[in-house]
Amino acid sequence: MINEADLKFFDEMGYLVVPNVLTDADLQLMRKRIKDIFSSGEYKVSPFNTDRVLSDVYNAFPEFIDITLNEKILGMIKQVLGDKPVLMPETAIHHKWYTGWHKDTTTQEKMGYTFHHQPESLMIECGFYLQDNDELGGGLTVMEGSHKTTDLYTKPRPPKSLSNRIATKILGDKDPLGDHLNPNHHKIVDIDSKAGDMVIFNFKTNHRATFPRTVKPEEVPEEKSKIAFFNAFSVNNSTANEYLEFILNRPEPFYQNLKTRKLNENLLNKAKQLDFTVI
Ligand SMILES: O=C(O)CCC(=O)C(=O)O
């Protein structure tokens, strides 16, 4: 479970790792099933999926409901967000997919939404990485405390300074001095998560996928290939509906399924059983 010190850490740093949340059996089952979904082409069950990202996971693959939404997991989500947290319709699986630096509020900020700046607004991603995060990547990299600083990713990147260009040449593009990426000089951390840990992060935390350091992404061996399962939750106040309105207006293909989406019966039952909200 999460203790007071964990909650304080989450509040200050904008992320938290809870070790050993998935059982070994569930972890192996999820890895195998997800690899099968991609290798067999079953991911094409929804036209909104790609061979890298599955959206609206619970509707197409309800077998993941019991594993990723159980009493222990919801108990911890409630410790962070309070009673009746809202599961947003954004459950996703990333497969060999690596994102660059962003906040999960960057797009809404760019589109002119401001509800995430309200003091009572809080949304989190709850991720399960199905491999250790190590030199082959496979987890999350964050800027500690960046949920408290302005979103710089809404603006086009300024040209790199001379010192940054030199550092990049020497060190490669590995956040060296990062004057355009990290002007607030947050500490950058590759989160030391192990397969089956739960990684929680604030939507406003600057983050990206941890890239493999020793090989190219396409050279990561299959047994270590990156698979991550994400649930987005909101505190139970107007944030959830405002966020829903925002994603309903997002133009990307990934979000078009929301317009005709029906809530899955198993998911509704699970929400009733564990006292959380689905919209
Ligand atoms: O795939 C990852 O590790 C990063 C996930 C991410 O950027 C996101 O869920 O917003």
What integer pLDDT is reported at residue 18 of this predicted model? 98
Look at residue 168 and tell me if it is in a domain. no
Q: From the CB of 204, is ligand 1 less than 6 Å away?
A: no
Confidence of residue 254 (pLDDT cuts 50, 70, 90): confident
Average pLDDT estimate for 55-72: 95
Selection from 15, 183, 204 nearest residue 109 by Cα: 204
Dist. CA 209–CA 50, nearest whole Å: 18
Gap from CA of 199 to ligand 1 centroid (Å): 11
Average pLDDT estimate for 156-182: 64
What integer pLDDT is reported at residue 169 of this predicted model? 64
Best substitution site from 55, 124, 125, 191 to test ligand 1's pocket, by max atoms within 8 Å of Cβ?
125
What integer pLDDT is reported at residue 183 of this predicted model? 82
Q: From the CB of 130, is ligand 1 less than 6 Å away?
A: no
Look at residue 180 and tell me if it is in a domain. no
Average pLDDT estimate for 259-278: 94
Look at residue 179 and tell me if it is in a domain. no
Q: Domain tally for the chain?
A: 1
Does residue 117 or residue 256 have the better pLDDT? 117
Look at residue 192 and tell me if it is in a domain. yes
Look at residue 131 and tell me if it is in a domain. yes
Look at residue 190 and tell me if it is in a domain. yes
Q: Where are the beta strands (DSSP E) in 160-204?
A: 188-190, 198-202
Span of 164-168, 202-206, 264-268 with lowest mean pLDDT:
164-168
Asked if pLDDT for residue 93 goes beyond 70, the answer is yes
Phi-psi region of 275 (alpha: psi -120 to 50; beta: other; left: phi over 0): left
Asked if pLDDT for residue 252 goes beyond 90, the answer is no
Span of 77-91, 116-130, 139-153, 242-256 with lowest mean pLDDT:
242-256
pLDDT, tens only, 199-238? 999 999 999 999 999 999 999 999 999 999 999 999 999 9
Q: From the CB of 228, is ligand 1 less than 6 Å away?
A: yes
Look at residue 130 and tell me if it is in a domain. yes
Asked if pLDDT for residue 174 goes beyond 60, the answer is no
Q: In this structure, what CATH number is given to the domain that contains residue 123?
A: 2.60.120.620
**Is 234 within 8 Å of 123 (Cβ atoms)?**
yes
Span of 5-14, 16-25, 94-103, 254-263 with lowest mean pLDDT:
254-263
The answer for residues whose C-beta is within 8 angstroms of residue 49's C-beta and 6 or more apart is 43, 55, 60
**Is 220 within 8 Å of 137 (Cβ atoms)?**
yes
Asked if pLDDT for residue 175 goes beyond 90, the answer is no
* Domain of 35, in residue numbers: 4-149+186-278
